Amino acid sequence: MSFMEALRSALQAISANALRSILTMLGIIIGVAAVIAMVAIGSGAKARVNDQIRSLGANLAIISAGNVQVGGVRLGAGASSSLTDEDARAIKREIESIGAAAPFIRTQAQAIFQGTNWSTGIQAVDNDFFEAREWDVPVGRMFDPDELRRGEIVAILGQTVARTLFGSDDPLDQIIRVRNTPFKVIGVAAAKGQSAFGQDQDDVIFVPLETGRRRIMGRNYAKDRSVASVFVKFDQEAGMANGIEEIRALLRQRHRLTEEAEDDFSIRNLTEIANTATATANTLSFLLAAVAAVSLLVGGIGIMNIMLVSVTERTREIGLRLAVGARPRDVLAQFLIEATTLASIGGALGVALGLGITVAIARTAGWPVLVSPESVLIAVGVSGLVGVFFGFYPARRAARLDPIEALRRE
């Protein structure tokens, strides 16, 4: 018997007991649908995390001042002014794997333009910052070296600030006021979107580091040339752990720390944090796969059960087929194809249902979803394999029937 004939006969048998077939497929339908929907949601979330990681900038570490003891009390990051822009320059100069070292200071202040005002983050930076964060300034320009050196009162706006203060007007060459200082807008930074921690990264005004020290941050920063943090960008991810140790050694030396003294700064590997988030997403995917395996197992057992019933019901038919010349392997193939068809149809219906659920979730909850063709193919393929695996035992039972016994059965 050819494959097409066996397939036709299988479809006939399946449609003859439509309700029973659907109920049998239900396990596989639900399992596959759940996997398709969950994988779509999971990949969507993962893609979003990846976007956020990319928006942070690749191969990034942050050095923060602080972690000092004052009379036995350990103060948190940023509590002391141990880090200077000289440190940043030294790091960039002496450590080979570093691409950019961007010292910066951050504070919160009110920005005013004509009648509008807006509380926003002020970041005092140099041009290394834009390099480290892979952040473009498509409108206007970055700071020029003179502006940085002399501490001129110019500003680059984040998208959110530009939109809030200027609406659709062109902010270039306009004057905004921050802490009673009039800043000339020289550029608007590209949109960065949300950070991995849910902050709006575009709600920011950049000013030159020197300007920030003198005009906005207050006298402590101005006096000792310190900075709150330094973004360090490595050329590649591979050498980051070593590079961070080199930075630690360099800073300890520069800060003249004795061997028993603790660091007066802390270094965090942001890429590592991002990788941890990815690893978490991977763990989630693994759990999903486990759930899928269990549901397919249950579905497979359902198919085995119904195929055993079917073999029993059709014993006389099997006997007849054997009598008129079917070889045992013809009967085996027929029932195997029937089980596989049943499972594959279940898988296909599951995919359809899963896609429906995915679209519904994307529409109603607004979650990002990503359906990969691979997951669809794998789902259908695995369903088929489940059919072969769980269909084999009933099919072999059918093939091993004695034609005389089978024909005699009522």
Partner 1 sequence: MALIEARELSRVYDLDAGRVVALDRIDLDIEAGDMVAIMGPSGSGKSTLMNLIGCLDKPTGGSYKLDGVMVDQLDANGLAALRNQKIGFVFQQFNLLPRADAATNAELPMLYAGFNAKARRQRSLEALARVGLADRWHHRPMQLSGGQQQRVAIARALVNDPKLVLADEPTGALDSKTALDILALFQHLNRDGVTVVIVTHAPEVARHARRVVRFRDGRIMSDTRQEPVRAEDGLKELLAEAAS
CB 49 within 8 A of CB 196: yes
Nearer to partner 1, 99 or 328 (CB): 328
CA distance 294 to 169: 58
When asked if residue 365 is in the footprint of partner 1 (CB under 8 A), the reply is: no
Question: Strand (E) positions, 324-365?
Answer: none
Q: Which segment (22-30, 76-84, 322-330, 358-366) binds partner 1 by CB under 8 A? A: 322-330
Helix, strand, coil percentages (3-state) for the chain, rounded to 5, are 60, 20, 25
Nearer to partner 1, 153 or 318 (CB): 318
Q: Which segment (72-80, 173-181, 305-313, 315-323) binds partner 1 by CB under 8 A? A: 315-323
Q: How far is the CB of 403 from partner 1 (least distance, A)?
A: 5
Q: Which segment (155-163, 247-255, 312-320, 361-369) binds partner 1 by CB under 8 A? A: 312-320
Binder of partner 1 out of 14, 209, 321, 386 (CB under 8 A): 321
Contacts of the segment 65-74: beta carbons below 8 A, 24+ positions apart: 65/226, 65/227, 65/228, 65/229, 65/264, 65/265, 66/264, 66/265, 66/266, 67/262, 67/263, 67/264, 67/265, 67/266, 68/264, 69/262
Q: How far is the CB of 334 from partner 1 (least distance, A)?
A: 10
When asked if residue 325 is in the footprint of partner 1 (CB under 8 A), the reply is: yes
When asked if residue 312 is in the footprint of partner 1 (CB under 8 A), the reply is: no
Which x/- pattern, by CB under 8 A, does the window 268-307 give for partner 1? ----------------------------------------
When asked if residue 46 is in the footprint of partner 1 (CB under 8 A), the reply is: no
> Token digits for 243?
């590079």
> Token digits for 79?
């509590």
When asked if residue 11 is in the footprint of partner 1 (CB under 8 A), the reply is: no
Nearer to partner 1, 249 or 404 (CB): 404
When asked if residue 324 is in the footprint of partner 1 (CB under 8 A), the reply is: yes
CA distance 87 to 226: 9
**Between residue 387 and residue 406, which ones bind partner 1 under the rule CB under 8 A?**
403-404
When asked if residue 140 is in the footprint of partner 1 (CB under 8 A), the reply is: no
When asked if residue 362 is in the footprint of partner 1 (CB under 8 A), the reply is: no
CA 201 to chain centre: 18
Q: Is 325 left (phi over 0), alpha (psi -120 to 50) or beta?
A: left
Q: How far is the CB of 388 from partner 1 (least distance, A)?
A: 22
Nearer to partner 1, 14 or 154 (CB): 14
Which x/- pattern, by CB under 8 A, does the window 16-35 give for partner 1? x-------------------
CA distance 55 to 197: 12
What residues contact residue 6 under an 8 Å CB cut-off, 6+ apart?
333, 334, 337, 338
When asked if residue 328 is in the footprint of partner 1 (CB under 8 A), the reply is: yes
CA 313 to chain centre: 51
When asked if residue 327 is in the footprint of partner 1 (CB under 8 A), the reply is: yes
Binder of partner 1 out of 75, 261, 289, 323 (CB under 8 A): 323
Q: How far is the CB of 358 from partner 1 (least distance, A)?
A: 38
When asked if residue 317 is in the footprint of partner 1 (CB under 8 A), the reply is: yes
With 0-12 CB in 10 A as exposed, 13-18 as middle and 19+ as buried, what is 188? buried
Q: Which residues of 209-236 are buried (b: 16+ CB within 10 A; e: fewer)?
A: bbbbbbbbbeeebeeebbbbbbbbbbee
Alpha carbon of 126 to those of 73, 103, 123, 156, 290: distances in Å? 33, 7, 10, 11, 49
Q: Which segment (133-141, 254-262, 313-321, 364-372) binds partner 1 by CB under 8 A? A: 313-321
Nearer to partner 1, 54 or 327 (CB): 327
Binder of partner 1 out of 61, 322, 351, 386 (CB under 8 A): 322
Q: Which segment (113-121, 128-136, 233-241, 323-331) binds partner 1 by CB under 8 A? A: 323-331
Q: How far is the CB of 392 from partner 1 (least distance, A)?
A: 19
CA terminus-to-terminus distance, the chain: 26
Consecutive H or E run containing 267: strand 265-269
Consecutive H or E run containing 40: helix 18-56
Nearer to partner 1, 13 or 60 (CB): 13
Alpha helices in 107-218 (DSSP H): 127-132, 145-150, 159-166, 209-211
Give the SS3 label for residue 234.
Answer: strand
Binding stretches for partner 1 (CB under 8 A)? 1, 5, 12, 16, 316-317, 319-330, 403-404, 407
